[in-house]
Structure 1
Amino acid sequence: MKLDAPTLVTVTIFVMVVMGGLYLLSWSQSRQTRALGFLGAAQIVGAGAVALFGLRGHIPDWLSIGLANAAMLLAFGLIWAGARSFEGRRVAVRQTGAGAVLWLAACLVPPFYASLGARVILASAVAGLYCGLAARTLWHHRGERLPSRAPAAILLASEALLSWARIPATLVLPVPPVGTPTDPFWVAALCFVALLYTVAVAVLFMALAKERLEAEQRRAAETDPLTGIANRRALSGQARRILAAGPTALLLFDLDHFKRVNDTFGHAVGDAVLVGFCAAARQVLPGDAAFGRLGGEEFACLLPGLTVGEAARIAETVRQAVAAMRPDLVPGLAVTVSVGVVRGDGDFETLLELADRALYQAKAQGRDRVVIAGPGLRQVA
Structure 2
Amino acid sequence: MRLDLPTLFMMTTAVTVTVGVLFLLSWSQTRRERSLAVWGIAHIVGGLASLMLALRGQIPDSLSIALANALMIGAYGLIWCGVRAFEGRRLRLDWALAGAVIWLGACAVPAFFESLAARVILASTIAGLYCGSGALMIWRGRGEPLVSRYPALILLATYAALYWIRIPLAVATPLPVSIGTASPWFAILAFAGTLFSVAIAFVFMALTKERAEREQRQAAETDSLTGIANRRALVAGAERHLAVAPAALLLFDLDHFKLINDRHGHSVGDAALAAFCQIAAPVLPPEAVFGRMGGEEFACLLPRLDERAAARVAERIRAGVARFTHPDYPELRMSVSVGVAAESQIGGSLDYLLRRADDALYRAKRTGRDRVVTSEEDPLPVAADIPGTSRVGGRSRVRSP
Which category describes the TM-score, using the shorter chain as reference length? over 0.9
Question: For residue 258 of structure 2, what is the aligned residue in structure 1?
Answer: 259
Output the aligned Cα RMSD: 1.5
Q: Equivalent residue for 1:275?
A: 274
Partner of 2:192 in structure 1?
Answer: 193
What displacement does 1:194 show? 0.6
Moved more, 332-341 or 43-52: 332-341
Instruction: Specify the SS of the correspondent of 1:90.
Output: coil
Q: 1:260 is matched by which residue type in structure 2?
A: L
- Please tell me whether the aligned partners of residues 273 and 327 of structure 1 are also in contact (alpha carbons under 8 angstroms): no
Q: Counterpart of 2:374? A: 372
Alpha-carbon distance between aligned partners in 2 of 1:234 and 1:248, rounded to the nearest angstrom: 17
Q: In the alignment, which residue of structure 1 is the partner of 2:120?
A: 120
Question: What are the equivalent positions in structure 2 for 1:285-364 lying under 5 Å apart?
Answer: 285-344=284-343, 345=345, 346-364=348-366
Which residue of 1 is the match for residue 110 of structure 2?
Answer: 110
Distance 2:284 2:186 in 1: 63
Question: Is contact 2:228–2:291 with CA below 8 Å preserved after alignment?
Answer: yes
Quick one: distance in 2 between partners of 1:362 and 1:56?
84
Kept in 1, the 8 Å contact 2:6–2:55? The answer is no
Deviation at 1:12, TM superposition (A): 1.4
Structure 2: distance between partners of 1:135 and 1:129: 10
Contact 1:269 1:330 in 2 (8 A): no
Deviates more, 1:245-254 or 1:102-111: 245-254
> Contact 2:74 / 2:99 at 8 angstroms: preserved in 1?
yes
Kept in 2, the 8 Å contact 1:284–1:318? The answer is yes
Shift of 1:10: 2.3
Distance 1:289 1:365 in 2: 28
Aligned to 1:165: 165
Whole-angstrom distance in 2 between the partners of 1:283 and 1:192: 53
Q: Find the residue that maps to 2:338 and give its secondary structure.
A: strand
**Amino acid of the residue matched to residue 86 of structure 2?**
F
How much does 1:105 deviate? 0.2
In structure 2, distance between residues paired with 1:189 and 1:313: 65
- Shift in Å, 1:328: 4.2
8 Å Cα contact 1:326-1:333 kept in structure 2: yes
What code does the residue aligned with 1:294 have? M
User: 1:241–1:316: structure 2 CA closer, same or farther, 3 Å change rule?
Assistant: same
Does structure 1 conserve the Cα–Cα contact (< 8 Å) formed by 2:367 and 2:379?
no
**Whole-Å Cα distance in 2 between the matches of residues 82 and 328 of structure 1?**
44
Does the Cα contact within 8 Å between 1:3 and 1:189 map onto a contact in 2?
Answer: no
Instruction: Name the aligned partner's letter for residue 196 of structure 1.
Output: L
State the distance in 1 between where 2:97 and 2:325 align.
52
d(CA) in 2 for partners of 1:154, 1:235? 35
Structure-1 residue corresponding to 2:204: 205
Q: Which amino acid aligns with 2:309?
A: E
SS state at 1:193 partner: helix
Does the aligned pair in 2 maintain the 1:116–1:180 contact within 8 Å?
no
Residue of structure 1 equivalent to 2:237: 238
Matched residue of 2:80: which SS?
helix
Check whether the contact 1:70–1:101 (CA below 8 A) recurs between aligned residues.
yes
CA distance in structure 2 between the partners assigned to 1:317 and 1:233 by the alignment: 26
Report the counterpart of residue 182 of structure 1 in structure 2.
Answer: 180
3-state SS of 2:293 partner: strand
Matched-pair contact (CA < 8 Å) for 2:302–2:310: yes
- Quote the residue 2:384 is aligned against: none
Q: Is the 8 A contact 2:6 2:180 kept in 1?
A: no
| Paired letter, 1:142 | R
| CA–CA separation in structure 1 for the residues paired with 2:242 and 2:341 | 13
| Secondary structure class of the residue paired with 1:286 | coil
Q: CA deviation at 1:284?
A: 2.2
1:202-254, CA deviations, whole angstroms, 9 ceiling, x for partnerless residues?
A: 11100011111111111111111111111111111211122122321111000
Unmatched 5+ stretches in structure 1: none
Cα deviation code 1:262-283 (max 9, x no counterpart): 1221110000100111111123
* Aligned mates of 1:98, 1:279 — CA distance in 2: 44
**1: CA distance, partners of 2:165 / 2:280:** 56
Q: Say which SS state the counterpart of residue 45 (structure 1) adopts.
A: helix
Is residue 162 of structure 2 the alignment partner of residue 151 of structure 1?
A: no
Partner of residue 5, structure 1: 5
Q: Mean Cα displacement is larger for which, 42-51 or 135-144?
A: 135-144
The two structures have a TM-score, normalised by structure 2, of 0.91
| Distance in 1 between residues matched to 2:136 and 2:266, nearest whole Å | 47
CA contact (8 A) 2:20 2:43 kept: yes
Q: Which runs of 5+ in 2 are unaligned?
A: 381-395, 397-401
- Partners of 1:316 and 1:136 lie apart in 2 by 44
Letter in 2 for 1:87: E
The alignment of Structure 1 onto Structure 2 pairs a total of residues equal to: 377
1:52 partnered with 2:52: yes
Give the equivalent residue in structure 1 for 2:387.
none
CA distance in 2, matches of 1:315, 1:143: 29
How many Å apart are 1:142 and its aligned residue?
1.6
- The one-letter amino acid paired with 1:351 is L
Tell me, in whole angstroms, the C-alpha distance in 2 between the residues paired with 1:64 and 1:269. Answer: 67
Q: Is the 8 A contact 2:315 2:372 kept in 1?
A: yes
Task: Give the TM-score, by structure 1 length.
Answer: 0.95
Matches within 5 A, 1:32-111: 32-111=32-111
Inter-partner Cα distance in structure 2 for 1:285 and 1:192: 54
Give the C-alpha shift of residue 327 in structure 1.
3.1
Output the CA distance in 2 between the equivalents of 1:4 and 1:287: 60
Structure 1 stretches of at least 4 aligned residues deviating more than 6 Å after TM superposition: none
CA deviation after TM superposition for structure 1 residue 181, in Å: 4.1
